[in-house]
Amino acid sequence: MASYLLNRFAQSLINIFFITILVFLLARATGDPAAALVPDDLPEAAVIELRARLGLDKPLIHQYWLFVQDIASGDLGMSIKGHRPVIDMIIERIPATFSLALAALVIAMAMGIPLGVLSAVYRDTFIDRVAKVVAFLGQSTPPFWLAIMLILFFGVFLFEQGLPSLPVSGRGGPATYIMPAFAMGWAVTAGVLRITRSSMLDVLDSDYMTMARAKGLSETTVIWKHALRNALIPVVTYFGLIIAAFMNGSVVIEQVFAWPGLGRLALVAVTGRDFPVVQGVVITVGVFLIVINLAVDILYAFIDPRIRYTKQ
């Protein structure tokens, strides 16, 4: 197990190197950062001095090292438009993005797991076909379109009919979470459903299920306690992908619902030509995903005996 963990740890470092060097090179490709910071009429000497202060006169590799040091110390630079440290703007937006992701996760689990279990237990029946439809639709629906259609029905149509409707934009009480969380969780529901179903099918075929039944346990206990607990192990590995899907989805969904999170921050910064903010969000989210994936790998190593007892 130690070599497995070491391997995952090394890969995480490589991933962090990869994303920082990518963003660093793209940042340099946008042009001379010093030129962007100084007014046109500044004397040449001042520009040279500024370049020296920013470390831009040093070789590229040295500049990269300075860049990484800044990031590691939590300094993501200043926003060009906001005139404040990027890190502050990001920290401000984190609760909105995370609470939305959490709500979407709850929705995806609440729909995907029971449906996955039922479709495995009642294989090739009506309920299994319903699950298949959900799985295929979830994978195929464009999230931004789903979001707008939800607004059309729950926001516009119900409102016009004089029925209780849902708020269509902004973050506030629990009601504001329903549509964005569903739009974001829908695609992930499909994934959770698929994995739960296939791992449930594996578990249902196993000997200890026969054993549990032989002990005289009720079918409900056998399925929802014994089988599900084991079937959920592969779902854990899927967690890293879910979080990645939410972080990508947040750009789109936050845009539709005017949700004040990280995704919207990045998109607005792209439109407003505010590079430090775009770069800050990408690095923060990228590193966060790498850390989450490492955590999932470690967790998995501990709960899955096949990895726990592997000696290499």
Partner 1 sequence: MTGKKLHARDIGASAAPADTASIGRQLHTALSALKRAPLVPTSILGILISFAVFAPLIAPHNPIKIDIMANLTPPVWHEGGSSQYLLGTDKLGRDVLSRMIYGSRLSLSLSLIVIFLGGTTGVLLGMISGYLGGFVDALIQRSVEAMLALPTILVALVFVFTFGFGFWNVVFILSPFIAARFARMVRGETLSIKERDYVASAKVIGTSKAGIILRHILPNVANTVIVLATLEVGHLILVESSLSFLGVGIPPPNPAWGLMVSEGREYIATAYWISLFPGIAILAAVLSLNLFGDWLRDVLDPRRKQL
- Residue ranges binding partner 1 (CB under 8 A): 11, 14-15, 17-19, 22-23, 26-27, 29-30, 131-132, 135-137, 139-145, 148-149, 151-152, 156, 193-194, 197-198, 244, 247-248, 251-252, 255-256, 263, 266-267, 270-271, 273, 275, 278-279, 281-282, 285-286, 289-290, 293
List Cα–Cα distances, 36 to 14, 50, 53, 77, 170, in angstroms.
Answer: 31, 11, 15, 14, 33
- Choice between 176 and 212, CB closer to partner 1: 176
How many Å apart are CA 205 and CA 209, to the nearest integer?
Answer: 7
Which residue, 22 or 35, is less far from partner 1 as judged by CB?
22
Decide whether 17 or 208 has the Cβ nearer to partner 1: 17
Q: How far is the CB of 218 from partner 1 (least distance, A)?
A: 27
Instruction: Name the CA radius of gyration of the chain, rounded.
Output: 24
What is the smallest separation between the CB atom of 119 and partner 1, expressed in angstroms?
8
Q: Which is closer to partner 1, CB of 212 or CB of 257?
A: 257
Q: Is 76 helix (H, G, I), strand (E, B) or coil?
A: coil
CB count in 10 Å sphere of residue 54: 15
Alpha-carbon gap, residue 249 to 216, rounded angstroms: 46
CB of 211 to partner 1, least distance (A): 27
In angstroms, give the least distance from the CB of 285 to partner 1: 5
Q: Buried (b) or exposed (e) across 8-17, using 16+ Cβ within 10 A?
A: beeebeebbe
Backbone angles phi, psi at 78, to 5 degrees: -105, 140
Q: ∠ at Cα 252 (246, 256), nearest 5°? A: 125
Q: Which is nearer to partner 1, 212 or 283 (CB)?
A: 283
Closest contact distance (angstroms) between CB of 214 and partner 1 is 29
How many C-beta atoms surround the C-beta of residue 258 within 10 A? 12
Give 27 or 178: the residue with its C-beta nearer to partner 1: 27
CB of residue 225 vs partner 1: minimum separation in angstroms? 24
